[in-house]
Amino acid sequence: MIQEMRDSLFKGKYSAQVLIFIMIFAIAGVSFTGFIALFKQSKEHSVGHIGSRYILRHDLEIRIDEYHRLVAYFEQQFGSFAKAFLSMQGLQDPTTFVLQRLKSETVLADIYDNSSLTISSDYITQKLHDTNFLFSSLGSFVPPYVVDNLGGINQKALAQHLLRHGITIEMFDGIVSNVLKKDFATKLLRDSFYDPTYDNGRNQCIAEKAKKTFVVGRLRFSDYLERENSAKAPSIEVLKQFYAQENQTHKKYWTDEKRRGIVWTFSADMYDRKISDTAIAKYYQDHKKEYTLKPERVYIRRIVVANEALAQKLHSELRSQQNLFADFARKHSIISKEASKGGEFGFIELVADTKALAPDQKLRQEKASSLYKDGAISDVYKTAAGFEIIGRIKKEFAILKPLESVKEAIAKEIRQKTFAKIFMQEAREASRKSPEDFAKFVERQHAKQEVVTDKRLNELSKAGVRKALDNGTIIELVSLEQARAIPFEQVQSQVTNDYHVQNAQKQFEADSKSLRLNIEKTSQFPKESTFGFTTESISIQSPLDWQSSTMKLLPIDRMKRMIHPSKIIFTTPSVEGKNEKDSLFIQLTKCTFSDEKVCENAEKTKENSKNALTIDQFMENIIVSFMRNVTMEIDPIILAQLLK
């Protein structure tokens, strides 16, 4: 049936063209009936061309038939909503569907012709005895009755079936080969797709379940500090020089600045300000929407269609014959529940705050609020449901809360807004008054008083000064004690200790750096005598071992992530936020599993975590980019005849 091919499934190295073919072919969803037509094209029978390939009348017939089957499927699944779904998918125009389909298949055919893929005859034979493959991938060409009791194909029955459909055995061979290449290419693509969630899952599994052995080298800061403290004590002159340098650079031996003050807090509720009834009534009139008991609403009917041209046509007729709205809704609207009632939608509340509304709801409210009288209709506008026209049936005006029921709330609101405007002016004036007059102002306005020592007082430079802030407070600095240097004699013991710590730290950091450079160069730990360097072996046989007391001062998270023996990590001078100053040098010497399948679930994560939508979109973009560079010319008269 098929010419002899090499036994290897694929031969040669994969070229860039092959990879692109794989990516496009895996998601294009192209029916191989298109390839049948491509195998038998000729110039004299063509109705046009796409690129360098001629298109036959049969090609158009196949695509048109496919479009009709697609529409029938949508109608069966979605009923009256089918047109809306087709429109949302961009499939409402059969001409566009047919031409785009042919163009994409031509691009695929060109890429395939330039690829180096070949399928072995043994592999094809094997797949032709796989009934799952036959009916899932070749169901359009291999009906159930041509499969014998052993699961193979009855050659005679197949030949008769293909003949009735105008397909030769040679064409069928090509179809089978292409289907197999598509399936293999799809798997190859998915396996080559990098998914970081897989690596993360596997690494997490290793971190938690692997048995590991480490060698931990340690350089202890405490040893350096002990040696420094045991050395000859520094002279008073050396310590005073150290004291002066630290004070000049860091003010290390200084007292803190001390401030004490008072903060008076004023509020609108306690602020003595009368609100007149006239002001309340005016505020009520100016802010009616804020005191609505029942909002203004409009009762509407609507027509929703999938086609904009139809919507514009209906709108044009309704402008002169508004009484036909209900009839048009029953006949044309794709929202069946509303159509049966003449398009009655119900009430739309004309709320002031539209932030919580969905975009379509917000647009519909805008259209409804613009309808100036009963019977008025809107223009055509687009929503997720389709193209809409709404008409006003009646309007109910808002019902407001009685003024008396909201009087106190309005007075409080006015008081708050007034307070924000006048407080700063009155507070600044009061701050400049004598202590006695200021005390009367504070008492009259019922301000709360608090003694503070925090940074709010930093804005004031001397005691007795007051300042009004726009957050409704007045602050006063009562006392200020400036920061000053502490005499050397009072901190001599601390200076001595700091001097030793600093010297020990310098030597410790120098030796840590030297050790690290040597280990990075040789990938080996030095002898334990070097700089007082020590090592110990740590064995992790179960997750519980990570919790043992010996692990507390180690970078456990980093050690869990180590999976390559001989890998060395360094931590200096602190570990995981702890106040430890030892330098650590950690080497993984062994990493094993008691069961090779311990991370099998992590392997499965690779397939389960694929983001198919991302891959499909990526490959769809590739085929679209190819199509932009392909010229197309199809006889419009023949296409129009076939579409009738």
Same domain, 364 and 425: no
Same domain, 559 and 417: no
3-state DSSP call for residue 351?
coil
Q: How high is the pLDDT of residue 574? A: 46
Rounded CA gap, 279 and 300, in Å?
38
Tokens for 483? Answer: 């920061």
Range of the domain at 267: 258-275+404-481
Rounded CA gap, 432 and 430, in Å?
5
Same domain, 226 and 160: no
**Does residue 577 sit within a domain?**
yes
Rounded CA gap, 190 and 195, in Å?
10
Residues 6+ apart with CB under 8 A from 13: none
Same domain, 469 and 448: yes
Q: How high is the pLDDT of residue 603? A: 47
Q: How high is the pLDDT of residue 399? A: 83
**Does residue 620 sit within a domain?**
yes
Place of tokens 């379509």: 360
**Does residue 465 sit within a domain?**
yes
Rounded CA gap, 50 and 29, in Å?
20
Rounded CA gap, 479 and 464, in Å?
8
Same domain, 67 and 180: yes
Q: How high is the pLDDT of residue 46? A: 77
Q: Report the alpha-carbon angle 423-424-427, nearest 5.
A: 80
* Cis peptide bond N-terminal to 402, omega within 30: no
User: With contact defined as beta carbons under 8 Å apart, do 147 and 134 qualify?
Assistant: yes
| CATH code, domain carrying 330 | 3.10.50.40
Q: Which of the 8 DSSP states describes residue 356?
A: T
User: With contact defined as beta carbons under 8 Å apart, do 419 and 273 qualify?
Assistant: yes
Rounded CA gap, 182 and 176, in Å?
10
Q: How high is the pLDDT of residue 329? A: 92
User: With contact defined as beta carbons under 8 Å apart, do 642 and 64 qualify?
Assistant: yes
**Does residue 6 sit within a domain?**
no
3-state DSSP call for residue 571?
strand
**Does residue 557 sit within a domain?**
yes
Rounded CA gap, 19 and 618, in Å?
13
Same domain, 307 and 353: yes
User: With contact defined as beta carbons under 8 Å apart, do 302 and 512 qualify?
Assistant: no
Q: Phi and psi for 575 in degrees, rounded to 5? A: -125, 115
3-state DSSP call for residue 451?
strand
**Does residue 332 sit within a domain?**
yes
Number of domains in the chain: 4
Q: Which of the 8 DSSP states describes residue 145?
A: G
Tokens for 382? Answer: 């687009």
Residue after which a domain boundary falls, among 397, 424, 440: 397
**Does residue 282 sit within a domain?**
no
3-state DSSP call for residue 273?
coil
From 330, 384, 329, 340, select the one nearest 362 (Cα to Cα). 384
Rounded CA gap, 623 and 23, in Å?
9
Residue after which a domain boundary falls, among 363, 378, 397: 397
Same domain, 372 and 447: no
What is the secondary structure of 37-59 as a DSSP string?
Answer: HHHT--STTEEEEETTEEEEHHH
Same domain, 519 and 585: yes
Same domain, 410 and 269: yes
User: With contact defined as beta carbons under 8 Å apart, do 288 and 398 qualify?
Assistant: yes
Q: How high is the pLDDT of residue 442? A: 87
Same domain, 184 and 222: no
H helix intervals, 465-566: 492-522, 556-561
Distances (CA, A) of 586 to 306, 436, 535, 568: 68, 72, 9, 5
Same domain, 143 and 158: yes
Q: Report the alpha-carbon angle 463-467-473, nearest 5.
A: 120
Chain centroid, CA 221 distance in Å: 46
Question: Which residues of the chain, if any, have pLDDT below 70?
Answer: 1-45, 58, 77, 85, 88-90, 105-120, 131-132, 134-141, 148-152, 165-166, 171, 174-175, 177-203, 206, 270-273, 549-552, 572-580, 594-628
Same domain, 216 and 365: no
Put simply, whether the predicted model's pTM sits higher than 0.85 gets the answer no
Q: Phi and psi for 216 in degrees, rounded to 5? A: -110, 115
CA dihedral 627, 630, 633, 636 (to 10 degrees): 10
**Does residue 459 sit within a domain?**
yes
